[in-house]
A and B are shown apart, each in its own frame.
Chain A
Amino acid sequence: MSYLSISHITKQFGDTVVVDDFNLDVEKGEFVSFLGPSGCGKTTTLRMVAGFEIPTAGRITLDGADITEKAPNQRNVGMIFQSYALFPNMTVAQNIGFGLGVRKEPKEMISQRVEEMISLINLEKHANKYPYQLSGGQQQRVSLARALAIHPQVLLLDEPLSALDAKIRVSLRAEIRAIQKKLGITAIFVTHDQEEALSISDRIVVMNAGLMEQVGTPFEIYNFPQTQFVANFVGSLNTANAEVSDPVKGLVNVNGVQFITASDIKSRKKGDAIRVSVRPERFSFVSEEKKDNVLDCVIENITFLGSVVRIQVRIGEAKFNMDTFNNPFLDLPKIGSKEQVTCSKEAVLVLDE
């Protein structure tokens, strides 16, 4: 049995089902992210692990013990909030020592642990400051130290970086990941930022409207999305309406243009309406390399995005974005010119709705 096991969890508030049959096994030391749009039930699921909500159905076990209905203060779980939630009346050191204090640990042991934690987050100079005297990033590090001080069995983080500005967000997420690896602690991280989830996690659970859409490594989630929702939510995606023209050979017709796909469409019939999806970076110009699909197109628009140049092309009647890496010697086509783009058949996805 795995370390943390969430099995068949359902949560209802009144008549609304907020989390529906959630199943997840987390190994010890694993870093799992819950990713999904606002309101999909990420926080609710996390709060059930923390004990702030009791599931309507299902069980949660941690290290072999059933904790489904245990009070939050009886579980050994560290929680990090988006708003830091430091105690304003206590200094950094007092905040970090709070959990051990209420457990009536001996004084010397507390101060030793507090010191250890403060050096872990590199805030030695700020031990006696109050939360309001710290920046957001520092406050969130204190909150991390405070949660870790009690040697929690699981660390739960609910959008811990959302209140911070972009630079700090990236550096603090690396720091959180480094500390998590160093201590070998099991962590669940909630976010609605796909880049954050992709960069920090061992595994990602993509959620939508209370349901788990897909569970997998960041690599699997990005490259092999199993549903239309996952493909759309993680990374950018071109989607076009199409019609099956040969289910066995994998041929589909997008507004009169033939595409070949590697997705399994054998169960569909000729003439079925489907949708095809292609990630923008999977297209390239024929001049560079020729792949399964070679498509005539017209250049519609070119947008410079820094490291990437996004080119909008019209293939038949459908418009697609194509991303190509920027370099100073890039030879960009003119708007309105006729070109040929290419992509592999694996790049053309036909996904479950």
Chain B
Amino acid sequence: MTTSSVSSTVVIKPPATRKRWESWLIFVVVSLYFLIPLGATFYWSLRGEKDVLGFEAYRKLFADTNFLPAFSESIVNAIATIMLSLLIVVPTAYWVTLRLPKLRPVVEFITLLPFVIPGIVLVFGIIRLYSRPPLLLTATYDSSRVLLICVYVALSFPYMFRSVDNGLRAIDVRTLTEAAQSLGANWPAILFKVIFPNLRVALLSGALLTFAIVIGELTIALYMAQHTLGPYMANLTRSKVYEPSAMAIVAFAITWAAMGIIDFVGRGSSRHAQMIDTD
């Protein structure tokens, strides 16, 4: 558009400006679509006290003895999920890229299964399977929690595999591995000096997406009677007026902070992005 306006300013300019108008309009409409509900929720959350705007709802939320335990339980679950998921996904994705590229579509399909199966179906299937011997895992709260984390690991596969896979594609693992091998490196040296450092951003983005899922997950935790953030929030909605909104804003802030960290770390190693650009 801009190049054509050089040749004949008079005729070309109106469409060009209209174009800019249009894009602004779209931008504003889309922004409103996101901002209005968010603003309304925030406004609502500030009305915890009669006739004044303030942070009363937030104070009550944090004062609730069930909130922080639920919150910390979710965070611990999320971290455990991330660890397990990384341990399974990174070596798998690395090996598939390196040695079994033909298997990629199969692995990709398997990692997508959590998208295909609705959470409610998944949870009843899991409860049926694991609530009788020999795999009796729903007997105690803690064993259920382990089971829950395992389910979350499966739920994280689509995000984790995709992030790691993208990261692996961006660095030509195969050639880098071979270069390192011919220079005398053994497997640990290749993994820790070459592969992991170059996957930092990918690992982080996969981890943070997983974090966001686990923090907000409701259905499965609810049916497995876990006291995590999701069921806590659902319960809150039923019994309180303003606190759920405050809770939503807190959850939003956490997610936002997570995105901020991705962006920050991503910028720190923007050399990967540039490297891909110039190729």
Q: Given A130-B271, A132-B275 in contact, is the A85-B186 Cβ separation under 8 Å?
A: no
Query: Do A79 and B178 touch across chains, with their CB atoms under 8 A apart?
Result: yes
Check: B184 CB closer than 8 A to any chain A CB.
Answer: yes
Query: Do B271 and A72 touch across chains, with their CB atoms under 8 A apart?
Result: no
Cα–Cα, bound, A83→B177 (Å): 13
One digit per residue, 1 when the CB lies within 8 angstroms of any chain B CB and 0 when it does not, for chain A 85-123 equals: 111110000000011001100000000000000000000
Query: Do A72 and B178 touch across chains, with their CB atoms under 8 A apart?
Result: yes
Query: Do A150 and B198 touch across chains, with their CB atoms under 8 A apart?
Result: no
Contact of A73 among B172, B181, B269 (CB under 8 A): B181
Residues of A within 8 A of B118 (CB): none
Greatest chain B CB density within 10 A among A99, A132, A146 is at A132
Distance in angstroms from A173 CB to nearest chain B CB is: 21
Cα–Cα, bound, A52→B194 (Å): 18
In chain A, what residue has the closest Cβ to B278?
Answer: A132
Query: Do A79 and B182 touch across chains, with their CB atoms under 8 A apart?
Result: yes
Check: A225 CB closer than 8 A to any chain B CB.
Answer: no
Residues of B within 8 A of A77 (CB): 182
Contact of A85 among B175, B184, B198, B274 (CB under 8 A): B175
Greatest chain B CB density within 10 A among A73, A86, A130 is at A73
Cα–Cα, bound, A321→B16 (Å): 55
Check: A218 CB closer than 8 A to any chain B CB.
Answer: no
B interface majority secondary structure: helix
In chain A, what residue has the closest Cβ to B197?
Answer: A89
Residues of B within 8 A of A88 (CB): 171, 198, 271-272, 275
Check: A50 CB closer than 8 A to any chain B CB.
Answer: yes
One digit per residue, 1 when the CB lies within 8 angstroms of any chain A CB and 0 when it does not, for chain B 169-213 equals: 001100110111111111001000110011000000000000000
Cα–Cα, bound, A83→B178 (Å): 12
Q: How many residues of B contact A (CB 8 A)?
A: 24
Say which size band chain A's interface belongs to: 20 to 34
Contact of B180 among A71, A78, A98, A143 (CB under 8 A): A98
In chain B, what residue has the closest Cβ to A146?
Answer: B183
Distance in angstroms from B272 CB to nearest chain A CB is: 6
Greatest chain A CB density within 10 A among B172, B179, B198 is at B179
Cα–Cα, bound, A331→B149 (Å): 87
Contact of A103 among B176, B184, B272 (CB under 8 A): B184
Distance in angstroms from B71 CB to nearest chain A CB is: 36
Query: Do A102 and B189 touch across chains, with their CB atoms under 8 A apart?
Result: yes
Residues of A142-199 contacting chain B, CB below 8 A: 143, 146-147, 150
Query: Do A73 and B186 touch across chains, with their CB atoms under 8 A apart?
Result: yes
Residues of B within 8 A of A130 (CB): 271
Query: Do A50 and B176 touch across chains, with their CB atoms under 8 A apart?
Result: no
Distance in angstroms from B228 CB to nearest chain A CB is: 37
Contact of B181 among A72, A86, A89, A103 (CB under 8 A): A72
Check: A131 CB closer than 8 A to any chain B CB.
Answer: yes
Query: Do A85 and B181 touch across chains, with their CB atoms under 8 A apart?
Result: no
Residues of B1-28 contacting chain A, CB below 8 A: none
Query: Do B275 and A131 touch across chains, with their CB atoms under 8 A apart?
Result: yes
In chain A, what residue has the closest Cβ to B178?
Answer: A52
Residues of A within 8 A of B271 (CB): 88, 130, 132-133
Check: A285 CB closer than 8 A to any chain B CB.
Answer: no
Check: A229 CB closer than 8 A to any chain B CB.
Answer: no
Check: A22 CB closer than 8 A to any chain B CB.
Answer: no
Distance in angstroms from A162 CB to nearest chain B CB is: 14
Residues of A within 8 A of B189 (CB): 102
Query: Do B172 and A83 touch across chains, with their CB atoms under 8 A apart?
Result: yes
Check: A3 CB closer than 8 A to any chain B CB.
Answer: no
Residues of B within 8 A of A103 (CB): 184
Greatest chain B CB density within 10 A among A85, A146, A147 is at A85
Distance in angstroms from A61 CB to nearest chain B CB is: 18
Greatest chain B CB density within 10 A among A79, A99, A102 is at A102
Residues of A within 8 A of B172 (CB): 83, 85
Query: Do A72 and B182 touch across chains, with their CB atoms under 8 A apart?
Result: yes
Cα–Cα, bound, A218→B184 (Å): 34
Cα–Cα, bound, A75→B178 (Å): 13
Query: Do B198 and A87 touch across chains, with their CB atoms under 8 A apart?
Result: yes
Greatest chain B CB density within 10 A among A79, A89, A132 is at A89
Residues of A within 8 A of B269 (CB): 89
Cα–Cα, bound, A205→B274 (Å): 39
Residues of A within 8 A of B181 (CB): 51-52, 71-73
Distance in angstroms from B204 CB to nearest chain A CB is: 14
One digit per residue, 1 when the CB lies within 8 angstroms of any chain A CB and 0 when it does not, for chain B 154-182 equals: 00000000000000000110011011111
Query: Do B274 and A132 touch across chains, with their CB atoms under 8 A apart?
Result: yes
Please report B residues at the A interface, Cβ cutoff 8 Å. Answer: 171-172, 175-176, 178-186, 189, 193-194, 197-198, 269, 271-272, 274-275, 278
Please report A residues at the B interface, Cβ cutoff 8 Å. Answer: 50-52, 71-73, 75-79, 81, 83, 85-89, 98-99, 102-103, 130-133, 143, 146-147, 150
Nearest first, the 3 closest Cβ-Cβ pairs linking A and B are: A99-B183, A79-B182, A85-B179
Q: A81-B179, A87-B194, A147-B182 are in contact. List 19 more A-B contacts (CB 8 A).
A: A50-B178, A71-B181, A72-B178, A72-B182, A73-B182, A73-B183, A73-B184, A78-B182, A79-B182, A85-B175, A85-B179, A87-B176, A87-B179, A87-B193, A87-B198, A98-B180, A102-B185, A131-B275, A132-B275
